[in-house]
Homo-oligomer: A and B are copies of this chain.
Amino acid sequence: MAEEKWNTAITKIEPNKILMRGYRVEELMGKVPLSHVVFLLLKGELPSKAQGTLMDAMLVSSVDHGVTPPSALAARTVASGGAPLTTAVAAGIMASNRHHGGAIEGCMRVLLDAVARKRASGKDAATVAGELLDEYKASGKRIPGYGHRVHTEDPRSVRLFALADEFGIAGEHVEMAHALRAAMKDKMGRDLPMNVDGAIATVLCEMDFAPEMSNGIFAISRSVGLVAQVYEELTRMRPMRRIDSAAHEYDGPSEREVK
């Protein structure tokens, strides 16, 4: 049977030679940091210094959020049944879907739509944000990426926006993110800061990522915390225990500063 060839543009493997998006792996190792290689594999090109810094900060922001998110609980529960570490981590990643991490994608679509409307109409960001919010309110929809069940001012968002400003990444999408917050405050009387999903969404828009990829970026980041969570479950806890997410207590290091 004559077999049609199918194409891949990610990695070329030859004996003793591994090219990732064209770069030799051994040249990347020790020279290009992991977060920049994430950018390379997902976008096809190495990031600029500014893009690389934002990518790194974004990936660091979401490595873990304690034991209560569905991803951590699913991973620990599967580990508790006796599965190997990678199986349990995979369960955590499966929990990262539409409602958990998925707000990044939803928020990106809103921002991309809003900025496209702004460009097409020639109106300013505040006007477009106001019109869009009216539409959302009329159809009973919520704009994803604002507000958090625990944090009133998410430190991760504050830092990401500050870095975006500092490194010159902030553009029309950051402007629109602020305009939407102002419009919500104005029209609904609630001042909801962007949560980390919203901040990541904004930065991903500025760096021209596809919304469909955003959940994958979250999964890469959260895989770090999931390995830590599962390893802790396997080494500190007895199998088949009842995992009550509200009954946990932190007993790690006290607050300290990076030296």
Contacts and interface: CB of A to CB of B under 8 A. Distances in A.
Nearest to A95: B81
Nearest to A4: B247
Interface in A211-236: 212-213, 215-217, 219-220, 223-225, 227-232, 234-236
* Residue of A20, A21, A67 most packed against chain B (CB within 10 A): A20
A116 interface: no
Interface stretch (A35-43, A126-134, A171-179, A182-190): A35-43
A255 interface: yes
Interface string A199-215: 00000000000101101
Interface residues of A, number: 131
A30 B52 CA distance: 10
A93 B95 contact: no
Contacts of A125: none
Contacts of A29: 56-57, 60-61, 156, 159-160, 163
Copies held by the complex:
4
A256 B23 CA distance: 6
Of the listed residues A61, A94, A232, A255, the one surrounded by the most CB atoms of chain B closer than 10 A to its CB is A94
A78 B95 contact: yes
Nearest to A257: B27
A102 interface: yes
Interface of A: 1, 3-13, 15-35, 37-38, 41-42, 44, 46, 53, 56-57, 59-61, 63-68, 70-71, 73-74, 77-78, 80-91, 93-102, 150-156, 158-160, 163, 210, 212-213, 215-217, 219-220, 223-225, 227-232, 234-237, 239-258
13 contacts: A3-B247, A6-B244, A10-B252, A23-B255, A25-B61, A26-B156, A77-B77, A78-B97, A89-B216, A93-B223, A220-B220, A244-B244, A244-B246
